[in-house]
Structure 1
Amino acid sequence: MANMKRISLAFSTCYLLTLALQAQSLPLPDPLVLNKGSRITTAKQWHTQRRAELLELFANEMYGHSPGKPTQMTFEVFDTDTKALGGKATRKQIAVFFNGKHDGPRMDVLLYIPNQVKGPVPAIVGLNFWGNHSINPDPGIRIATSWMESSRGNPYIDVSCVVNHCSTEACRGINARQWPVDSLLNRGYALVTAYREDIATDEPANKFTTGVHPLYPEFQNRADNFGTVAAWAWGLSRIMDYLQTDRAIDSKRVAVFGWSRLGKAALWAGATDPRFALVISNESGAGGAKLFHRGVGENIRRLCTVFPHWYCGNFKKYMDQDTLLPFDQHMVISLIAPRPVYVASAIQDKGSDPEGEFDGAKAASQVYQFLGTEGLPTSTMPALNQSVQGQIGYHIRSGGHDVTSYDWAQYLLFTDKHFKTKKSRQD
């Protein structure tokens, strides 16, 4: 066992040294240069000119244009239990009817509010992969009825409980390990989640036929159609719409979290919706935090062929052009500035390209510094399992593509730092 630990440590050390040697000055597009070629010189120019240019660029060329808040959307709280989880929390479940009709597209939102905290509490919002009932074995959670993957090749989640793409009672709590509900509640945070398939399908064969997409046919059959990643981000904003109506939640202190493909959506939600006061991206990889310009890890061709529903039609023209893009993901992270953002990687998650994720955060740091904040407090990749936290946070941990207790420990420290001081409150 001791030899195995030494081998693992040696591998990790060698890998980090390799990453450091690979690091180089990348020919990245400059987020502080306007389309017409002049460099912005004031924070006002960023907020009124350059930020709008970048949002339009990414909407046109990558994520697609999304609709606004539905005018007929309604919320219905269909469950309230003030003694949930042994009295530790108040559980609410809210049906979001996107077009206001009970027979129309519906998203169920699960909300746990800590009972030990008085007054409005901060919240962490994130979409889940396997239904709200999967994040905790609580028998009061409504079983998701949307289409569900029957297998995904994930070594951390047993989905044998899914039958004919439908969830069953046996699926309760299958993904609880990645959602430390007790830890969040003990720390004073509400947890808010919804199932990704309620918003938009992740099955290519069902592309744009379920969830919110059928409500907006005018956004389809065009090159800048909003894809599934953008739809998930749009859904996160609709959850925020509800949270602004709930007096138990401090809507000025809401963080958005996502892992893997849902981490891509969390970044875009943070970029497009400034109501999210903090953003957490866990191993979001290509189309998330990593830089395409490195030409390492998952590339645009794979995104557009294996997951053709994720991004808009225009993005396909950049296949095999990763290192030549007129934009890159550091610009998406920059769109969150000066709000805090945390990017995290795992050493064995080669597809996500940990060095590319770190470089994405580092390249965005110039915008944070331009706006008068610290940005990322290092220019070199930190050691394994060592978190660095400024206005941008980052760590690379042991293990593979997953969400672990170590990840959450860093996210809670980071969120405490920015949410639990008077200075960070955006009142």
Structure 2
Amino acid sequence: MTPNRPLLTLRPTTKLNTMKNLITIAILLLSPMIFAQPEANYDESKVPKFPLPDPLTTFSGNPIANKTQWEENRRFEIFQFFERQVYGKVPDRLDEYSFKLWEESDDAYGGKARRKQVAISLTKNKRTITYNLLIYLPKGNPKAPVFLGYNFYGNHTVTDDPKVPITKAWVSNNESFGITDHKATEATRGVRKHRWAIEKMLDNGYGLATIHYGEVDPDKNDFSDGLHQLFYKDGQVKPKTNEWGSIAAWAFGLSKAMDYLENDTNISDVIVFGHSRLGKAALWAGATDKRFAGVISNNSGCGGAALSKRKFGETVARINNSFPHWFAGSFKKYGNNERTLPVDQHQLLALVAPRPLYVASAAEDRWADPKGEFLSAYHASKVYALYGKQGIDSPEMPAIDQPLQNTVAYHIRSGKHDVTDYDWEQYITWAKTFVK
């Protein structure tokens, strides 16, 4: 039987070596305390005191008094900061892109909807990726508005429609869905249809356009596939420090989908929507592409709608540690150092102005910091006021399941981190009034 070996063998042949060994032991003993994340804070009394950056005061201290000053000065510098220091900059232009309508039918959802399936191909440096856009449009409405959003497990998971193929892209393993080896199967058809109230949209004159986000950029800390690798120079294996992470890549994919949608004669306004990490992508897409007529963030949390400086629930350090591929490398220096951030997420929301914006939270989703999401929408509203648009007037959160609907809208619903019929009922009602 082989005896147990010591984890560390010390040979203190000199006083210097002895000191080095003692330091090594100390590091080994203390490293769990040094590197372990503290418990997440869910206590409002422990939220740090912090000055919130004013959207209407420039980095150099000059006040912004009107929408022209906002657009020509303040909006530009805020956008540049988020682009270079948070989400990362798109490194170059595509060489070419194309669209192929490869399937179309008028028999979807019992004949009440038209279905279109479009392949979007992006090419750079003689490398190409292709992802699929699934569209349902209400029949009887020759030019319908649509909600555009990513799904997590494949277009086939949002519907029982057998005409939608199973994605061949990388998907996250999910024991409850029977997904192993990162491959979707027929058994996953329709497993996420509860998150997409497609018939409710159709009955209200709206369509849905959706994409599996893994076809644009697989959600893993590996930049060797997906959108990023199209842009690499010789020998490059990952983006540069201030270049795009996955959230910016997903936002880019939404903008290229918009290139198709704005030229589809059956589609009018496009409202970009996202849940959780894809809510972060929807917000950045709305900030970078003004063609989106409205923006919806559903439970987007840290790096999305929630204020970073509150350090409530998920924090900058936690999100960069758990998902190092989501943001630009330059964002990591603000982990456990949020006080030095010259911006916060209410200024991201302000970049959407004057277009309609909806932020939604869930009462049981404390990780995403509902209060921080609400306060972001509240503090962004002063930019909307420059345009004569009504936002959120009071810093007091509304009651659960009591939505505030203006050009800037907010609700916190009962329940957990998810997308529900209740959410979609609010989004449809709001869109009918404010997205025109």
Shift of 1:67: 4.7
Pick the aligned partner of 1:126 from 132, 145, 149.
149
Pick the aligned partner of 1:209 from 224, 239, 257.
224
Tell me how many residue pairs correspond in the alignment. 391
Distance in 1 (alpha carbons) for counterparts of 2:306 and 2:104: 40
Shift of 1:332: 0.3
- Whether contact under 8 Å (1:291, 1:357) holds in the other structure is yes
Distance in 2 (alpha carbons) for counterparts of 1:180 and 1:299: 31
Within-5 A mapping of 1:28-427: 28-67=52-91, 70-99=94-123, 104-117=128-141, 119-151=142-174, 158-160=176-178, 162-204=179-221, 207-217=222-232, 220-250=238-268, 253-419=269-435, 424=436
- Whether contact under 8 Å (2:295, 2:357) holds in the other structure is yes
1:377-397: CA deviations, max 9, x gaps? 433100111000111101111
Deviates more, 1:277-286 or 1:211-220: 211-220
Shift of 1:131: 0.3
Shift of 1:44: 0.9
Deviates more, 1:387-396 or 1:41-50: 41-50
- Whether contact under 8 Å (1:297, 1:351) holds in the other structure is yes
Counterpart of 1:146 in structure 2: which amino acid? A
Distance in 1 (alpha carbons) for counterparts of 2:70 and 2:174: 44
SS in 2 for 1:316: helix
Looking at CA atoms only, which structure, 1 or 2, has the larger radius of gyration?
2
State the partner residue of 1:3.
none
> 1:159/1:31 Cα in 2 relative to 1: closer, same or farther (>3 Å)?
same
Identity of aligned residues (%): 42
1:282-308: CA deviations, max 9, x gaps? 000000000011121100111111100
Shift of 1:371: 2.5
SS in 1 for 2:331: helix
- Whether contact under 8 Å (1:293, 1:324) holds in the other structure is no
Distance in 2 (alpha carbons) for counterparts of 1:397 and 1:221: 38
> 1:304/1:339 Cα in 2 relative to 1: closer, same or farther (>3 Å)?
same
Shift of 1:345: 0.7
Distance in 2 (alpha carbons) for counterparts of 1:120 and 1:177: 26
Instruction: Give the structure-2-normalised TM-score.
Output: 0.86
> 1:373/1:26 Cα in 2 relative to 1: closer, same or farther (>3 Å)?
farther
Shift of 1:25: 8.3
> 1:113/1:384 Cα in 2 relative to 1: closer, same or farther (>3 Å)?
same
SS in 2 for 1:255: strand
Counterpart of 1:244 in structure 2: which amino acid? E
Distance in 2 (alpha carbons) for counterparts of 1:70 and 1:358: 37
- Whether contact under 8 Å (2:127, 2:230) holds in the other structure is no
State the partner residue of 2:8.
none
Counterpart of 2:432 in structure 1: which amino acid? D
Deviates more, 1:394-403 or 1:62-71: 62-71
Shift of 1:372: 1.8
Deviates more, 1:370-379 or 1:325-334: 370-379
Distance in 2 (alpha carbons) for counterparts of 1:35 and 1:385: 38
- Whether contact under 8 Å (1:98, 1:104) holds in the other structure is yes
State the partner residue of 1:6.
none
Distance in 2 (alpha carbons) for counterparts of 1:400 and 1:165: 26
SS in 2 for 1:99: strand
- Whether contact under 8 Å (2:248, 2:284) holds in the other structure is yes
Aligned-residue Cα RMSD (Å) equals 2.0
1:90-111: CA deviations, max 9, x gaps? 1110001111899831110000
Counterpart of 1:353 in structure 2: which amino acid? D
- Whether contact under 8 Å (1:106, 1:211) holds in the other structure is no
Shift of 1:163: 3.6
Counterpart of 1:216 in structure 2: which amino acid? F
Shift of 1:22: 8.6
> 1:315/1:100 Cα in 2 relative to 1: closer, same or farther (>3 Å)?
closer
Instruction: Give the structure-1-normalised TM-score.
Output: 0.88
Shift of 1:201: 1.5
Distance in 1 (alpha carbons) for counterparts of 2:126 and 2:171: 21
Distance in 1 (alpha carbons) for counterparts of 2:239 and 2:250: 19
Unaligned runs of 5+ in 2: 1-42
Distance in 2 (alpha carbons) for counterparts of 1:184 and 1:359: 29
- Whether contact under 8 Å (1:377, 1:389) holds in the other structure is no
Unaligned runs of 5+ in 1: 1-17, 153-157
1:4-52: CA deviations, max 9, x gaps? xxxxxxxxxxxxxx86x89998511111122322112221111122111
- Whether contact under 8 Å (1:377, 1:390) holds in the other structure is no
